[in-house]
Every structure is written in structure tokens, then in C-alpha cells.
Amino acid sequence: MNISGQCHCGAISFTALVDPGKALVCHCSDCQQFSGGPFRAVLPTPVAQVQLKGQPKHYVKLAASGNRRAQAFCAECGTQLYATEADTPKTLNLRLGCVNERAQLPPQVQIWCQSAMPWLGALPGLPRHGQGTASPRLPAGEA
């Protein structure tokens, strides 16, 4: 499947040929912290299948496995773009949040579920709104 994507400000964009069957959700504590959310949805894709325009900034972290992982993001708007091997990139774990076709790429597996937030299963039962609305705890427009 051919996809495209970009950071929020548009300084970095990409196209890629991906395997939709590889989309996944990671619940590890690093993904939670980096994303600012309860998990991160990613799509592992070989580097050779991604065409990148613009220059992302990289932050290298030491993973629990001992591997050095480069986290790529836009230096202007902070959008997370992908993670990859720090020294010799082979696979870009594209962040689904910046992929235009993300609605067509449902995750096929969840990993690091021991770190998953216990309240995720309750989400389908919560009230739903088509667009933003005032929360009983937040003034309108603040989230």
C-alpha cells in the first residue's frame, strides 16, 4: 500500500510503500512517555521503501533491550515521525499519527501489554462526541 504523511507544520513529509499487516500498537512505558499518550501506533517499514523530504531531528535513547534507538521528530513542530536503529537504520517504525491513510491501517497486534493502561478497555463505554465538546472538568477548548 502506498502512503503519504507529514509533520504538523509541513516542514517534513514522506511517501512510502508499506505492508498494512505490520501495523501495531506498543504499550511500553517509553512509547507512552514519548507520545504523551497511553500507547503508540506504528508501522514498521524498510528504509528503502520510504522517501523522506526535509530533515528530522534525532534523539537517541538506550532501549530496555540495550539497543540504541533513534527517535525522529520535526524540530519545528515536534511531530514524532519514526524510530529506527541509531547506527545503521534498516527499518523505520513510522508513527501512524502522521500518516494520512492512518484510518486504513488498523493495528494487527499489540506489544508490551504488561505496561498497558488498565482503563483502555473502558473507552468504548464512555460518551462519544463527533467533535470537541466541553468536559465537565475542563472549560470548552482546553484539553
Quick one: pLDDT at residue 79?
96
In the chain, where the domains are located = 2-116
Domain with residues 2-116, CATH architecture? Beta Complex (2.170)
Q: What is the pLDDT of residues 25-38, one digit of tens each?
A: 999 888 888 889 99
Residue 111: partners with Cβ closer than 8 Å, 6 or more residues away = 24, 25, 26, 27, 28
Look up the pTM and report it.
0.86
Calculate mean pLDDT across residues 34-53.
95
Q: Among 71, 76, 75, which Cα is nearest to 94's? A: 71
The residue ranking higher by pLDDT, 50 or 141, is 50
| 92, three cell numbers | 523505520
For residue 143, pLDDT beyond 60: no
| 57, three cell numbers | 531531528
Q: Which residues pair with 111 in a beta bridge?
A: 26
Q: Among 64, 69, 65, 63, which Cα is nearest to 44's? A: 69
User: Regarding beta strands 109-111 and 40-46, do their DSSP bridges make them parallel or antiparallel, or are they unpaired?
Assistant: unpaired
Question: Which of the residue ranges 14-18, 42-46, 53-57, 112-116 would you say has the lowest mean pLDDT?
Answer: 112-116
